[in-house]
Each structure stands twice: as structure tokens, then as C-alpha cells.
């Protein structure tokens, strides 16, 4: 045991796409006895704030690294989103057009291990020594992960971890049990998109996960490791049901917008759009981000070769409530993100601004607006106090907004836009519409999505238990990037300097 260590091993289970309120409701109904056993005797929080946008990447990658998207040549996670166009800073002079990354393509998903970049470290890489086991955790840099011995059904994912304790020689030549194991269950997300969060198949799958976790806990008890092991459980984001679904294909076709083709370097735009839309447009070339002026006078290459003001055009998409884009003069260390929003009471378009400065843990942001603030921070006594025209850190935003909609979004938006791989314009319909539109194609008519800044998407469960060495604590709030530093502290290991989350033991 390392000096100051409370446990000898940690296991982290990441379930995809479960709201805190749904998980704790099932616990309270007695449906998840094993998760309850861990939560009731250890650390629990039903108000853990995830990353924005509430999409598997960035959320899941940020859990595993304890960091966020950023200006990744210098700091932060290189992966801004599930889909991105590979633009660099400065723009590449290559004749080869930038590729589109799309992690829903199974042949691309393991590239995440390279994409996150060198300036962040996975939980596995943050430990100086010891055996590391990834059970279907795609972001496995620094761990043992093989396809042949790792089974990918839900029961198998838990069993792989049990094997690490029953028969470590199966994975590790030194025959020692893994110091850190991470299991990732994406199956809950698949069913949520297909059938929805109310569907019995979705709920039963969560109950099944609890059962397999129970088997893993029994293995740990039987092999004598239970009391020296911390078990963490977290999800990457919640979800919602869009009020309406809509096929966006004709909208762009009729205007002559041609989908970007990364093989040829042709096309006018690239977009992926659940209820939040991420739009990429070419500047001088597809390697360049466009200036605001270039987006105001934008000529399409398709039918009619018409000119559009892209800002006005995107506002015509049904249900759009707000829009974000970066200022032309932005630098990685300092800049402005513009917000345009529709004021509900007057139906008028208003302008707001997020100013940012600094990097990583030291990033500070300030939010200003004309008339009413879009997020309704002003309506709540606690959050209204932070609208003081001053710059604030992530933890100050967390403290002020963890209990309302759009928690920490002012901190998160600049972290996204600082990344050279981020898009040019974000718009959101805020759950009114679901489009399921990726790269020129409407993929499905399912209304079950996740990506928006409302609590139903942004609030996830945070649980750490197992060993009796873990104190019984109920946290009022925390954030997903706190999981890794907390688990590392339990192991007596100092987190890497790129970690932005805090050990929950250091909370005031």
C-alpha cells in the first residue's frame, strides 16, 4: 500500500446515458441493491455536473482524463466532440483536405487514444506503476486492452474485471491484480436512442448492470479484495425526448448547400445536429476557419450558386433558440464567444458575450448580455450573484449554477471553441426539435437524444464505495472530472497537472 493510500485498487464503471434522477429513483425503489450498497456506505452525489455539450465525447473522455477540451497544442483534451473536422492552428498548408472524425464509425473510435493528445493523461497513465485493465473502455491508453480476451456484452464487461481479480495471470504476466480497472457500458446508450428512457428494456438493462456489478462485488469478497478496493460508478450524460423530429435534408438541398467531401476538399458545410447543431464552414480553404465576414457573405457551390448570410440562414432552421460563434480576434489565451438568443417575451434577437482568459484550471470567464439573460441565471438568487461583470473560475461557476439549468455552461463553451477542431457556429433548439442529422444525412427519426445544457442532460450520478475505508459522504454537488482525482487520492497518487477536476476530499 502506498503511504496515505486508503485502498489498494480502484474499479471505475462508466454507464452511458443515464440521468442521476433516473438512477437514484431506481435505487430508492430498491431495484438496484448492489449500487445502493456502494452508494449508501460511501460517497454519493445525485447532482454531479457533466461537460457541455452533453454528448458521449467530450463527456466520457473527460471522465477518463479528468480534463476538458482546450487549446490542445498547449493544454486540454484534443477531442472537442463526437464529430469534428481536423483543422489546426495555424491552418495546415497541406493539399490534402482535413478529415472528418466520426466516433460512431467503429473503425474510427479507437483513434480517440491518439486524438486526445499528449497534454492530457488517462487515469491509467496517471499511476506511476501497477497493472491497468480496460474492460471495453475505448479510451484505454496505458492499459491492457485486447479484443481477443475482452468480451463486449454487458455481462462480459463486468466478468472481464472479475477475471482480473480471480485470475490476473490471464491478462498480466506478473500475475498481480490490476491497480486500476475501468469498465465502460455503452449498451444503455444504444437502447436509450432506440427505445427511450421510459422503455422497460432500458430500465431492465440498468437493473441487469446492477446484477452483474453484484457478481463482481461477490468475486471481490470471495477473493479477499473487497475491503481494499474502491468502486466508482458514474455516467457520461443524461438524456431527453425532443418534442418534434424534423428532416433537415431538404432545408440545405433547396438552398444549394453541398456537404463537405474530405476526400476531394469540396463542399460548403459539414454539420452534426441532434438538438444542438455544430456547423463547420470553409474559410480561405477548408483548412481555415472562416471569419465572421466570410460567414456573412457566403456563396454556396450547389444549385443557383446563391450568396447567404449564414447567421440569418441558420436562424431559419425550425426551433432555434440560441447561437454561439467565436470572435475573429480570438487567441488561445484570451477571447470572446458571441451569443445570439431569442428573447421569449419580445420575440427579439439579443446579443450576449462570454469573455475568457487563461488555460486549464486557471481559465476564467465572464458573461455579459443585453436586457434579459438567456440562461435565467438572474431569476435565481445564488446564480444572479455571479453576474457581477467579473471573471470567474470553473469552481465558482459550479458553486453558483449546479442547482439550475445550464450549469457551468459559461465555463464550458470557451473550452470547446478554443480547440482548433471545434466548429464555427453552434445553434440549439433546446429540446424542441431533434434532427439526428449528420454529415448531410438524416440518420433516424428517434426523438431520444442528449446534448443540451438542461439538467436532464447535464446531471449524472457520482458514487464511490466498496472498502470500509471510504468515508460516508453525501455531496450537494460535484463534477464528472472530480472522479479521477478522487479515485487517485484514494490510491495515494497525485493526479497529473492537466487534471482540472478536484478530489472531493478537498471540497470546502
Considering only residues 17 to 46 of the shown chain, the ones binding Zn ion according to CB under 5 A are 17
Dihedral of the CA atoms 145, 150, 156, 162 (nearest 10)?
A: -60
User: Which residue's Cβ lies closest to Zn ion?
Assistant: 56
The DSSP code sequence of 50-113 is --SS-SHHHHHHHHHHS--B--TTTSSBS--SSEEE---SSPP--SSPPPEEETTSTTTGGGHH
Nearer to Zn ion, 366 or 450 (CB): 450
> Residue 487 and residue 465: Cα distance in Å, rounded?
10
Describe the crossing of helices 33-40 and 200-222 by its angle, rounded to 10 degrees. 60
Whole-number minimum distance, CB 18 to Zn ion, in Å?
Answer: 9
Whole-number minimum distance, CB 232 to Zn ion, in Å?
Answer: 17
Nearer to Zn ion, 201 or 227 (CB): 201
Whole-number minimum distance, CB 450 to Zn ion, in Å?
Answer: 7
Neighbours of 199 (CB within 10 A): 14
Task: Name which position in 34, 46, 51, 56 contacts Zn ion (CB under 5 A).
Answer: 56
Nearer to Zn ion, 58 or 267 (CB): 58
Residues contacting residue 133 through CB under 8 Å, at least 6 positions apart:
143, 144, 160, 161, 164, 171, 178, 180, 181, 182
Considering only residues 111 to 130 of the shown chain, the ones binding Zn ion according to CB under 5 A are none
In the block, cell 470572435 appears at 327
Task: Name which position in 75, 115, 210, 236 contacts Zn ion (CB under 5 A).
Answer: 236
Whole-number minimum distance, CB 239 to Zn ion, in Å?
Answer: 9
Whole-number minimum distance, CB 491 to Zn ion, in Å?
Answer: 26
Q: Which cell goes with 198?
A: 421510459
Which part of the chain contacts Zn ion (CB under 5 A), choosing from 51-59, 104-112, 441-449, 469-477?
Answer: 51-59
Q: Does 451 bind Zn ion (CB under 5 A)?
A: no
Helix (H, G, I), strand (E, B) or coil at 503: coil
Give the total of residues touching Zn ion (CB under 5 A): 5
Which part of the chain contacts Zn ion (CB under 5 A), choosing from 188-196, 408-416, 436-444, 489-497?
Answer: 188-196
Which part of the chain contacts Zn ion (CB under 5 A), choosing from 41-49, 186-194, 325-333, 411-419?
Answer: 186-194
Whole-number minimum distance, CB 138 to Zn ion, in Å?
Answer: 11
DSSP H/E element including 180 = strand 180-185
Q: Does 16 bind Zn ion (CB under 5 A)?
A: yes
> Residue 449 and residue 457: Cα distance in Å, rounded?
9
Whole-number minimum distance, CB 97 to Zn ion, in Å?
Answer: 29
Whole-number minimum distance, CB 186 to Zn ion, in Å?
Answer: 7
Whole-number minimum distance, CB 211 to Zn ion, in Å?
Answer: 22
**Nearest 5 degrees, angle CA 445-CA 319-CA 189?**
40
Q: How far is CA 327 from CA 304, 330, 424, in A?
A: 30, 6, 10
Which part of the chain contacts Zn ion (CB under 5 A), choosing from 28-36, 232-240, 265-273, 452-460?
Answer: 232-240
Nearer to Zn ion, 17 or 438 (CB): 17
Q: Which cell goes with 413?
A: 463553451
CA dihedral sign, ordered 80, 86, 87, 90:
positive
Which part of the chain contacts Zn ion (CB under 5 A), choosing from 9-17, 136-144, 159-167, 211-219?
Answer: 9-17
In the complex, which residues of this chain contact Zn ion (CB under 5 A)?
Answer: 16-17, 56, 189, 236
Amino acid at each position: 500500500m502506498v503511504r496515505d493510500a486508503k485502498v489498494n485498487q480502484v474499479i471505475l464503471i462508466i454507464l452511458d446515458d443515464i440521468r442521476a434522477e433516473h438512477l437514484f429513483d431506481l435505487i430508492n425503489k430498491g431495484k438496484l441493491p448492489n449500487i445502493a450498497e456502494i452508494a449508501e456506505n460511501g460517497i454519493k452525489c445525485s447532482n454531479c455536473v457533466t461537460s457541455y455539450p452533453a454528448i458521449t465525447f467530450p463527456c466520457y473522455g473527460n471522465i477518463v482524463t479528468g480534463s476538458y477540451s482546450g487549446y490542445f497544442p498547449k493544454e486540454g483534451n484534443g477531442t472537442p466532440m463526437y464529430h469534428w473536422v481536423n483543422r489546426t492552428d495555424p491552418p495546415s498548408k497541406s493539399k490534402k483536405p482535413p478529415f472528418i472524425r466520426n466516433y460512431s464509425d467503429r473503425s474510427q473510435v479507437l483513434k480517440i487514444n491518439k486524438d486526445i493528445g499528449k497534454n492530457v493523461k488517462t487515469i491509467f497513465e496517471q499511476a506511476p506503476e501497477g497493472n491497468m485493465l480496460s474492460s471495453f473502455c475505448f479510451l484505454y491508453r496505458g492499459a491492457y486492452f485486447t479484443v481477443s480476451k475482452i468480451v463486449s456484452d454487458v455481462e462480459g464487461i463486468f466478468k472481464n474485471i472479475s477475471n482480473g481479480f480471480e485470475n490476473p495471470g490471464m491478462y498480466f504476466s506478473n500475475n498481480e491484480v490490476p491497480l486500476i480497472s475501468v469498465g465502460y457500458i455503452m449498451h444503455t446508450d444504444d437502447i436509450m436512442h432506440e427505445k427511450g428512457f421510459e422503455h422497460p428494456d432500458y430500465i431492465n438493462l440498468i437493473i441487469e448492470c446492477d446484477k452483474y456489478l453484484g457478481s463482481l462485488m461477490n468475486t471481490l469478497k470471495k477473493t479477499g479484495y473487497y475491503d481494499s478496493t474502491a468502486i466508482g460508478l458514474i455516467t457520461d450524460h443524461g438524456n431527453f425526448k425532443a418534442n418534434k423530429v424534423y428532416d433537415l435534408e431538404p432545408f440545405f438541398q433547396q438552398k444549394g448547400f453541398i456537404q463537405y467531401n474530405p476526400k476531394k476538399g469540396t463542399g460548403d458545410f459539414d454539420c452534426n445536429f441532434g438538438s444542438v447543431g455544430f456547423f463547420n464552414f470553409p474559410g480561405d480553404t477548408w483548412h481555415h476557419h472562416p471569419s465572421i465576414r466570410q460567414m456573412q457573405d457566403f456563396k454556396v457551390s450547389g444549385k443557383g450558386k446563391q450568396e447567404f448570410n449564414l447567421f440569418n440562414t441558420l436562424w431559419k432552421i425550425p426551433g432555434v433558440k440560441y447561437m454561439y460563434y467565436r470572435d475573429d480576434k480570438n487567441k488561445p489565451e484570451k477571447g470572446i464567444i458571441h451569443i445570439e438568443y431569442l428573447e421569449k417575451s419580445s420575440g427579439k434577437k439579443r446579443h450576449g458575450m462570454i469573455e475568457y482568459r487563461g488555460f486549464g484550471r486557471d481559465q476564467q470567464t465572464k458573461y455579459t448580455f443585453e436586457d434579459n439573460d438567456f440562461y435565467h441565471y438572474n431569476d435565481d438568487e445564488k446564480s444572479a450573484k455571479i453576474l457581477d461583470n467579473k471573471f470567474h473560475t470553473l469552481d465558482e461557476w459550479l458553486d453558483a449554477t449546479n442547482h439550475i439549468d445550464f450549469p457551468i455552461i459559461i465555463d464550458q463553451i470557451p473550452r470547446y471553441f478554443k480547440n482548433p477542431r471545434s466548429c464555427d457556429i453552434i445553434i440549439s433548439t433546446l429540446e424542441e426539435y431533434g434532427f439526428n442529422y449528420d454529415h448531410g444525412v438524416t440518420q433516424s427519426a428517434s426523438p431520444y437524444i442528449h446534448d443540451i445544457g438542461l439538467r436532464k442532460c447535464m446531471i449524472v450520478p457520482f458514487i464511490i464505495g466498496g472498502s470500509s475505508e471510504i468515508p460516508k459522504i453525501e455531496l450537494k454537488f460535484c463534477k464528472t472530472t472530480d472522479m479521477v482525482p478522487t479515485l487517485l487520492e484514494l490510491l495515494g497518487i497525485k493526479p497529473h497537472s492537466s487534471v482540472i477536476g478536484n478530489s472531493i476530499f478537498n471540497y470546502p
